[in-house]
C-alpha cells in the first residue's frame, strides 16, 4: 500500500563490527534500550530535557542525539491527548540510524504551559520556532502524528524557511459531515467529561484506550497513555478540538516542501489519508500494514525504517 519514491531497504546500523554479534544501544544512564542482531558494540546517545520560552509560556522538549548525528535534527510532534512520550519506542531506533530527534510537548500537554484561550492548530504551530531558536537550529526536518500532523503542516506553511523535509503521519482531510461528527463527540466525550467521585472515569478512559490499541495490547502501556491524558497543564480537550476545527483540505494543496504522507492500514483515519494521497499524488506516500492509532509503539522498527528512508531518500 505504498507509493514511495525513496529507498526503504534497511541501512547498516553499524559497519565497524563483525557479523553474528549483537548491537546494544544504551542511553546516558547506561540502561540497554534496543538491540539489533548482526552487529556488535555500544552506541550511546544523550538525552537532554529542557524548556524554551514560547508564546504561551515555557515549552518542554526532549533532545535525543547519537554521538555522530547524520542530517538535520528531526522534530517530533505528538497526537492528542498525549505527550512527547508517545515517541519513547522510536527514540533508540532513530538514534541507531543516526537521527537526532527532538520531541516537543504541545502547549497545555505534558509539561508545556497552556494558552489562556481555546487554541487553534495555527496557534499551536507558533510554539515550535521558539524551541528551534532556543537550540540554535536554523532548519530542521519535521514530523507530526495525528494532531501533531496538523500542527506540523501549519508550521511548514507559517514558517517555511525553518523546515526542510515534512512528514505528515496521519493526514486528515475530512467532509463537513465528518467534521461535525468529530466536533460533536469532542463536546460530549471531552469538553463535558465528568470526573467521578469513585474514580470510574479513570477506568473508563483506560478501557477506551485499551480497546483502541488492538492486538497485543500491553496494560502497562495503556496505563501510561491514560495518565498522559490527565497530567497536562491545560484542558485535555483542547487538542482534539483544534484538530477537528482545522481544515487540512485547505492547507494540503499549499504544501511546497518535500513531503511524505505516512499512514497505516489499521489507522482510524486511514481512509482520510487515502483521500489526501488523491489530493496530492505528487507527494510521497507510504501505508504501513496493520497497526492502529498507536503505530509508533506497535511497529517502531518498521516506522523508523520508513521515516529514515524518506529523510535520506
Domain annotation covers residue 11:
no
Q: Work out how many domains the chain is built from and give that number.
A: 1
pTM: 0.89
| pLDDT level of residue 42 (50, 70, 90 thresholds) | low
Domain annotation covers residue 15:
no
- Condensed to tens digits (0 to 9), the pLDDT of residues 212-262 reads 998 889 999 999 999 999 999 999 999 999 999 999 999 999 999 999 999
What is the rounded CA–CA span in Å between residue 77 and residue 73? Answer: 13
Domain annotation covers residue 3:
no
Domain annotation covers residue 16:
no
Three cell numbers written together for 26: 544504551
**What is the percent of the chain where pLDDT is above 90?**
84
Residue 119 in 3-state DSSP?
coil
Domain annotation covers residue 287:
yes
- CATH code of 113's domain: 3.40.50.1820
Give the pLDDT confidence score for residue 215 in this predicted structure.
86
Longest dimension (CA), the chain: 60
Domain annotation covers residue 286:
yes
Give the pLDDT confidence score for residue 154 in this predicted structure.
98
Under DSSP, the state recorded for 294 is T
Query: What is the edge-to-edge ordering of all strands in the sheet holding 284-288?
Result: 46-54, 57-65, 101-104, 74-77, 140-145, 163-169, 258-264, 284-288
Show the domain range for 242: 22-311
Domain annotation covers residue 244:
yes
Domain annotation covers residue 8:
no
| pLDDT level of residue 1 (50, 70, 90 thresholds) | low
Average pLDDT across the chain, whole number: 89
Give the pLDDT confidence score for residue 214 in this predicted structure.
86
What is the rounded CA–CA span in Å between residue 79 and residue 212? Answer: 14
Amino acid at each position: 500500500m505504498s507509493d514511495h519514491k525513496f529507498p526503504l531497504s534497511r541501512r547498516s546500523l553499524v559497519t565497524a563490527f563483525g557479523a553474528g554479534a549483537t548491537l546494544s544501544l544504551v542511553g546516558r544512564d547506561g540502561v540497554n534500550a534496543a538491540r539489533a542482531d548482526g552487529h556488535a558494540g555500544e552506541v550511546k546517545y544523550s538525552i537532554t530535557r529542557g524548556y524554551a520560552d514560547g508564546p504561551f509560556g515555557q515549552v518542554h522538549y526532549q533532545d535525543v542525539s547519537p554521538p555522530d548525528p547524520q542530517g538535520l535534527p528531526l522534530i517530533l510532534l505528538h497526537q492528542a491527548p498525549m505527550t512527547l512520550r508517545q515517541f519513547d519506542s522510536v527514540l533508540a531506533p532513530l538514534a541507531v540510524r543516526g537521527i537526532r530527534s527532538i520531541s516537543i510537548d504541545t502547549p497545555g500537554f505534558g509539561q508545556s504551559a497552556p494558552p489562556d484561550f481555546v487554541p487553534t492548530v495555527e496557534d499551536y504551530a507558533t510554539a515550535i520556532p521558539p524551541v528551534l531558536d532556543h537550540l540554535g537550529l536554523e532548519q530542521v526536518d519535521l514530523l507530526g502524528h495525528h494532531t501533531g500532523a496538523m500542527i506540523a503542516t501549519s508550521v511548514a506553511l507559517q514558517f517555511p524557511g525553518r523546515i526542510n523535509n515534512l512528514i505528515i503521519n496521519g493526514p486528515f482531510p475530512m467532509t463537513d459531515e465528518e467534521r461535525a461528527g468529530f466536533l460533536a463527540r469532542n463536546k460530549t466525550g471531552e469538553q463535558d467529561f465528568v470526573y467521578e467521585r469513585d474514580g470510574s472515569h479513570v477506568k473508563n478512559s483506560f478501557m477506551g484506550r485499551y480497546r483502541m490499541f488492538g492486538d497485543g495490547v500491553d496494560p502497562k502501556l495503556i496505563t501510561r497513555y491514560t495518565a498522559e491524558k490527565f497530567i497536562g497543564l491545560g484542558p485535555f480537550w483542547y487538542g482534539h478540538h483544534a484538530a477537528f476545527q482545522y481544515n487540512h483540505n485547505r492547507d494540503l494543496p499549499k504544501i511546497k516542501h518535500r513531503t511524505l504522507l505516512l499512514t497505516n492500514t489499521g489507522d482510524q483515519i486511514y481512509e482520510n489519508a487515502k483521500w489526501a494521497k488523491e489530493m496530492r499524488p505528487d507527494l510521497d506516500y507510504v501505508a504501513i500494514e496493520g497497526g492502529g492509532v498507536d503505530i509508533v509503539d506497535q511497529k517502531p522498527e518498521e516506522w523508523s525504517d520508513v521515516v529514515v528512508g524518506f529523510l535520506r531518500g
